[in-house]
Chains A and B, each alone.
Chain A
Amino acid sequence: MAKTIRPTEPLAVDHSHVAEIAAEEAGTQDFEVALVSLNQWQLAWRRYRRHRLAVIGSGFLLAMIAVAIFGTILWPYNPNDIPGVTTPGGDPPTLNPIENLFGTDFGGRSVLQMVIVGARISVAVGLFTMLIATTIGVTIGALAGYAGGRLDGALMRFVDLMLAIPFLFVILVAARFFGGGDPVTLIVIFGLLFWAGLSRLVRALYLSLREAEFVEAAKAVGVSDMRITFRHILPNALGPIVVSATLIMAGAIVTEAFVSFLNFGIRATDVSWGNALSNSKGYLLQGNWWWPFFPGMALALTVIAVNFIGDGLRDALDPRSKE
């Protein structure tokens, strides 16, 4: 987010601030200055904390992950538990009891509970897609960027191809033909399709980093190429990679919801936010707003949280790419 950050170089410590702390610690003398040096990660954490929206976002995402893990344990979900409804599309939200806080669906099931159960799919799809896609993207990008030459050419032509084909088209076709409503298959499909942009970025990073002096130094002392690629260059390229991994996560969560919304994703009997939206669509014209509203809100807030985290990480890990 747009706010002034001081250009903080590693070890360039804000002296006035440190002096204050030191003065507090040392009692009253303000000339006794103890320098506190911070390493890269502490500096990054300091920059991250300053991004208020990112901190709120991380809190929200952690809460969502907790809901996904513990939600159904604390409040078991039984799809056959149908209490019955009084209005055609379900009952509007009431404050008492908690079950009906978000209203009910056409079967009288609690929408609040559906939001809680649906969090499992969204969080899992987001996290695991990010994991798979980032692994593939980093490996291919690193390979292309570090090796160069013909391998680079071949891999990048393949990436061009992946990026030329409209992404949503392939996702929908693959989910329809191979998905079968299984979350794991869906995650694999997403993972295999989300990496192309990232690999291009990683390649660009490696192209510039492999000319750096520390790589030359590592080569001179006989470090193997494998080790240079992953132990020496990768940590230096981590900032942009982490940022774009969060974008992949946000993208995967939205795409899962959309694919499920079109009934090509998670099977209709399972609960996901996209499914809830899909089921509620037909009742919208009867004024049944709460059923699509709350799962959609959960989805929107999670994605916004992830995007804010990404922005905070960009400030923290990759300050040069700010503008």
Chain B
Amino acid sequence: MVKYIIRRTLGLIPLLLGIVLISFALMKLAPGGPERQFNQNPRVTEEQINAWLTRWCLEREPTPIGIVREFSGWMGFYNCDTESIFSASGGLNLLPEFLGGGDNGIIHGDLGISIVSARPVTDIIVERIPATLILTSVALFLWVTIAILLGVIAAVRRYSFFDQTVTFFSYVFYSLPTFWLGLMFIFFFAVTLHWLPAQGIVSPRDWPPFNTPQYWEAFGQDPWSAIYDIGRHLVLPVTVLVLVNIAGDSRFVRASMLEALNQDYVRTARAKGLPRRTVIMKHTFRNAMLPVVTNVALELPFLFSGAIVTETIFSWAGMGLLFIEGVTARDYFLLMGLILITSTLVIAFNLVADVVYAIVDPRIRYD
């Protein structure tokens, strides 16, 4: 088992390298250099721009060698300050800091500085994670639970009225554009009925902005009403996410259940005269859940990458909205960091899914 995990992890290294290369290439191919970002800001002097470019090994008209240098600087192999592959303390720059390496580049956990806000990308991302986690974990939990319920019932009562209704509505909600559904929900529940807030994470009149020190202070004073406030803001975006995502999972659970129901051991269990309930819950359900567990593991990166569409519609200041802000402002480093982190999570959870599958299903051989 350990050997299997190690081998799979090593197999991920080329994939990771590819992701790094692609995200870098995408930024490099984009028209207009990063220094164009300062065109609108008259206070930034030419010297400051030059210093900034040097800090990140950026060049105005990069030569092929310059691009390699830029890439190695971003990766952390190359030290832009000493202009060599050695760090200021004399060691190889790619080594960890306590071994005399540098502190720049993604291998040292430094994703660069956001062009727009001039703050470290890592800080900005870490700051946004709580908001996204609240939204995505509630939504994921709800849609997986409901999908399993609907899928199991639909499979057990195959072709019944219930099954057909679930199937029809899964298709409809699966096809509905998320952003349009969100807009209509806002119009109906927030603008017309005034039941729920239309946007944001907290009510701006009663609470400081979410995830600031002031907010947590206010939260500590009155946690219940703070949770209630967030809860009210959660209802609409979570509903949209659940409605749209339930379709795929419930179809998956249904198919998996149907397959399990056709197995010989289920027939045997029935023939033994076991109660229907026992047959379904103990014999069928547990076996049908094996592929579902893997499928859910594959959905876990969503927890961190956030829901771009939903967060945009509801102004939910999480990772998805951060990405949209980055794209709008052409914030190179931020975008590279986000793509890198999300892709890494995706392949990491792919591995987790495989390993989990190998653990829960003793029939799988992993050598």
Complex Cα gap A120–B323 (Å): 29
Q: Are A284 and B183 in contact (CB under 8 A)?
A: yes
Number of interface residues of B (CB under 8 A): 52
Least CB distance, B101 to chain A, in whole angstroms: 28
Report yes or no: A176 in contact with B15, Cβ–Cβ below 8 A: no
Q: Which residues of A contact B258 (CB under 8 A)?
A: 323
- Cβ–Cβ contact A3 & B159, under 8 A: yes
Q: Does A4 contact B (CB under 8 A)?
A: yes
B186 — which chain A residues lie within 8 A by C-beta?
A: 284
Q: A304 to chain B: which residues have CB within 8 Å?
A: 171-172, 175-176
CB of A160 within 8 Å of the partner chain: yes
Rounded to whole angstroms, the CA-CA distance of A178 and B187 in the bound complex is: 34
Is there an interface contact between A4 and B171, defined as CB atoms closer than 8 Å? no
Q: Point out residues on A near B: beta carbons under 8 Å.
A: 1-4, 157-158, 160-161, 164-166, 168-170, 172-174, 176-178, 250, 254, 257-258, 261-262, 264, 277, 281, 284-285, 287, 289, 292-293, 296, 299-300, 303-304, 306-308, 311, 323
B191 → A minimal CB distance (Å): 6
B residues near A292, Cβ cutoff 8 Å: 180, 183-184, 187
Listed by A's residue number, 24 A-B pairs whose Cβ atoms lie within 8 Å are A1-B168, A2-B167, A158-B18, A164-B343, A164-B347, A165-B19, A165-B23, A169-B338, A177-B29, A177-B30, A178-B29, A178-B31, A257-B180, A258-B309, A261-B179, A262-B327, A281-B183, A284-B187, A285-B198, A287-B187, A289-B187, A304-B171, A304-B176, A323-B259
Contact A277 B179 (CB under 8 A): yes
The answer to whether A287 touches B327 (Cβ under 8 A) is no
Residues in chain B near residue A258, CB distance under 8 A: 177-179, 309
CA distance A180 to B72 in the complex (A): 30
In whole angstroms, how far apart are the Cα atoms of A160 and B346 in the complex?
11
Q: A258-B177, A258-B179, A262-B324 are in contact. Are A323 and B338 (CB under 8 A)?
A: no
Residues of the B chain whose Cβ atoms lie less than 8 Å from the Cβ of A323: 255, 258-259
Least Cβ–Cβ distance between B328 and chain A, in angstroms: 8
The answer to whether A172 and B183 have CB atoms under 8 Å apart is no
Question: Least Cβ distance of A256 to chain B in Å?
Answer: 10
Give the contacts of B223-257 with A (CB-CB under 8 A).
255
Given A3-B159, A299-B177, answer yes or no on A308-B327 (Cβ-Cβ < 8 Å). no
Does B346 lie within 8 Å of A264, measured CB to CB?
Answer: no
Say if the beta carbon of B14 comes within 8 Å of chain A.
yes
User: B158 at interface (Cβ–Cβ under 8 A)?
Assistant: yes
Question: Contacts A3-B159, A166-B305, A284-B187 known; A308 to B171 CB distance under 8 Å?
Answer: yes
Residues in B neighbouring A158, C-beta threshold 8 A: 18
Additional 4 contacts, C-beta under 8 A, given A165-B22, A289-B184, A303-B177: A1-B167, A169-B308, A169-B339, A289-B187
Residues B30 and A165 in contact, CB atoms below 8 Å apart: no
In the bound complex, CA of A157 to CA of B350 (Å): 14
Q: In whole angstroms, what is the CA distance A289 to B193 when docked? A: 13
| B79 located at the interface, meaning its Cβ lies under 8 Å from any Cβ of chain A in the complex | no
Q: List chain A residues, Cβ under 8 A from B184.
A: 289, 292-293, 296
> Bound state CA distance, A307 and B175, in angstroms?
7
Name B180's contact: one of A169, A174, A296, A308 (CB within 8 Å): A296
**Separation in Å of the B244 CB from the closest CB of chain A?**
11
**Interface positions of B from 282 to 298, Cβ below 8 Å from A:** none
A277 contact set on B, CB distance < 8 A:
179-180, 183
B residues less than 8 Å from A303 (CB atoms): 175-177
Q: Which of A2, A292, A304 lies at the interface centre, i.e. has the most chain B CB atoms within 10 A of its CB? A: A2
Identify which of B14, B19, B23, B323 contacts A172 (C-beta below 8 A): B323
* Cβ of B335 under 8 Å from chain A: yes
Question: Closest residue of chain A to B307, judged by CB?
Answer: A168
Report the tally of A-B residue pairs with Cβ distances under 8 A.
130
Known interface pairs A1-B167, A176-B330; A300-B180 also in contact (CB < 8 Å):
yes
CB distance from B303 to the nearest CB of A (A): 13
Q: Which B341-356 residues sit within 8 Å CB-CB of chain A?
A: 342-343, 346-347, 350
A-side contacts of B346, CB under 8 Å: 164-166
On chain B, the residues within 8 Å of A308 by CB distance are: 171
Neighbouring B residues of A307 by C-beta, 8 Å: 171, 174-175
> What's the minimum C-beta distance from A190 to chain B, rounded to whole angstroms?
16
B235 to chain A, nearest CB (A): 18
Within the complex, the shortest CB–CB distance from A179 to chain B, in Å, comes to 11
- Which chain A residues border B63 with CB–CB below 8 Å? none
Contact A161 B191 (CB under 8 A): no
Closest-CB distance, B164 to chain A (whole angstroms)? 5
| Complexed CA–CA distance, A240 and B261 (Å) | 25
* A contact residues around B177 at 8 Å (CB): 254, 257-258, 296, 299-300, 303
CA distance A164 to B330 in the complex (A): 22
Q: Which residue of B lies closest to A284 (CB)?
A: B187
Contact indicator B192/A176 (Cβ below 8 Å): no
B136 proximal to A (CB < 8 A): no
Q: CB-nearest residue of chain A relative to B17?
A: A161
Instruction: Give the distance to chain A from B280, nearest Cβ to Cβ, in Å.
Output: 17
Q: Which A residues are CB-close (under 8 A) to B26? A: 170, 173-174, 177
Chain B 303-339 interface 0/1 with A at a Cβ cutoff of 8 Å (1 = within): 0010011001000000000011001101000010011
B175 contacts A250, CB within 8 Å? yes
Counting CB contacts under 8 A, is B299 at the interface? Answer: no
